[in-house]
A and B are shown apart, each in its own frame.
Chain A
Amino acid sequence: MRNVTPSRIVAAVLLVGLGLVPVIAAAIGEPYYITLFTRIVIFAIAATGLNLILGYGAMVSFGHSMYVGIGAYAVGILSFHGIGNGWAQLAVAIAAGIVFAVVIGLVCLRTGGVAFIMITLAFAQMVYFLAVGLKEYGGDDGLAIGARSDFGVFSLASNTTLYYVAFAVLVLVLVVFERLVHSRFGMVLRGCRSNERRMAALGFPTLRYRLVAYVISALVCVIAGMLLANLARFAAPSYMAWQASGDLIVMIVLGGMGTIVGPAAGAVALLVLEEILAGITTHWMIVLGPAIVLIVLTAKKGLYGYLVGREATRPPPADERP
């Protein structure tokens, strides 16, 4: 069969494996694994979201955890005021995400390259300090969330439901992104990655395309943040700490940037690695730090590129949609 390529096998194994987590956790009587893997899936969603601009648009945002935090605080603040309806929380989170992403995106996209990295980092820090300054909502200590979101037809109260909702969001994001990057929009975005001036000369309003990509990727992170708040029943400024943004980039590079499934695979790999290292020593960061340096120095294509082999570097097949 022509369609059975290594990349599809990797994607299928990853998704089937993640889909079976609650079953396996129930079978071996370790419900903790559901919580652990919910966290992993949530970060896989966020990393996939960031990869849209980082991998396909060459916009290295070092501040995307701020959108995770915005999603988490939307759930937290509404819940604090007694609004537990998931749809209302979703609407507020998306609206807040759009406002922040459009304003911040417009400023950041005026620059490029290394200045873009630093400015996104600085803006994330600004939102972080704003959250610390929200004394009414816990400030530095964060905000406990009384009840998980209730979506009417389903509620996130059960851990298994939350897991499958997060998993469904991940699959949905992967499918939509797979189509998006091969659409006309994705072609323009990838064109800007290689040569923005040429795309502008061809008559494309490149700023608009890049801004839309920035906002989409931010909104995916907002939704990941809503799920994270539901998982932890907590919203804290630490979700937006700059190390969290760095972790997202590590996941993407570890998995393979500019591939659809890579960042999700990287999130699984990094968080499982962290879990194992944390079980061995409390000073696991002393191992993780040099490990990151080594990964950057040696593995150019990421884990996914390594698994898929030469396919990732081969030119795209002729039947790729224009």
Chain B
Amino acid sequence: MSVGLVLTQALNGLQLGILLFLLAAGLTLVFGIMNFVNLAHGSLYMMGAYFAAAVFDRTGSFLLAGAVAIPATMVLGVVVERIALIHLYSRDHLDQVLATFGLILFFNELVRIIWGPASVYMNAPAALSGTVNLFGLPYPSYRFAIIATGLAVGAGLYVLIHRTRIGMLIRAGATHPEIVAALGVNVRRLNTLVFGLGAALAGLAGLMAGPIVSVQPGMGEPILILTLVVIVTGGIGSIRGAFYGALIVGVVDTIGRAFLPTLLREFLERSLAQAAGPAIASVLIYVLMAVVLAIRPQGLFPVRHG
């Protein structure tokens, strides 16, 4: 187990964490400001990946794929919000969960009809197909680009939410929607804006994940569940919580899968370690979440009020 291998896996964990953050940010914003649980967020990610793959397939240009996929996902999110979800804001969480569950079934079947049940492939842009040299360690440029893009988006979100007028309204709307409405702000439009922003981030995540995962029906669900773990661990409604939670979950999951089976072999019998290693590694993040909740039910970085 060399230092280079550990570093590579840590970077892979960081990259998964960044993808999770893009999804968690949208989900947690929508929850924080509208008190709305959107399980179909994973479907938006899937649609983003399919839009990107479809454009890439026709044009071969990754930039063009992004230029189409991100706005298209945003528009799709806003349309879905206006048609169905807007009626659910005042309902309880059970109704929201159930309706968005129905949307997941719909979108999964829709892509199966349009693009077929098999995986669709897209390549990383040619300029990013090589490796970068990180202190003598070769690392795929594309994965490095994901990390860089994610960090830039994270910084941009921070500025947007803490330094701009829109961000101020979003923060105010999360805690005191009635007062914000009374001050003359169109809260409905603000809601749609936040939802569209979340959808665009999901589309961006789908675009960037396209070349490294298989684009197939149902691809949104596993990552949605990881995202839920992230926002519960980080503290529901908190962007800061989503960021740190995503990095923790991404790194713990990747490092656990990479090294736990080998590590267990030091203590356990070979056959037992081989059987238990992958199983324990795959439940590691859920154990982490359970421990966090047992100690701090509100999450690691809850929203600070006041």
Contacts and interface: CB of A to CB of B under 8 A. Distances in A.
A117 B108 CA distance: 22
Contacts of B108: 285
Contacts of B84: 293, 297
A111 B97 contact: no
- Chain A contact residues (Cβ within 8 angstroms of B): what range? 35 or more
A296 B103 contact: no
Contact of B87 (A60, A118, A125, A297): A297
Contacts of A257: 94
A300 to B, nearest CB: 9
B225 interface: yes
Contact of B109 (A111, A132, A136, A285): A285
A60 B109 CA distance: 26
A126 B283 contact: yes
A125 B286 contact: yes
A123 B286 contact: yes
Given A285-B108, A288-B105, A289-B103, A107 B97 contact: no
A60 B113 contact: no
Contacts of A246: 98, 101
Contacts, number: 127
A200 interface: no
A290 interface: yes
Given A119-B232, A129-B283, A286 B110 contact: yes
Q: Which label, helix, strand, loop or mixed, suits the secondary structure of the A interface? A: helix
B246 interface: no
B77 to A, nearest CB: 15
A293 B109 CA distance: 15
A135 B275 contact: yes
B293 A110 contact: yes
Contacts of A132: 279, 282
A60 B93 contact: yes
B193 to A, nearest CB: 22
B221 A283 contact: no
A250 B98 contact: yes
Interface in B62-99: 84, 87-88, 91, 93-95, 97-99
Nearest to B295: A110
Interface string A92-128: 0000000000000001001101110111011101100
A311 B84 CA distance: 30
A276 interface: no
A125 B225 contact: yes
Nearest to A110: B297
Interface of A: 54, 60, 62, 107, 110-111, 113-115, 117-119, 121-123, 125-126, 129-130, 132-136, 242-243, 246, 249-250, 253, 257, 283, 285-286, 288-293, 296-297
In the A-B complex, the 4 residue pairs with the closest CB atoms: A133-B279, A292-B102, A289-B106, A289-B105
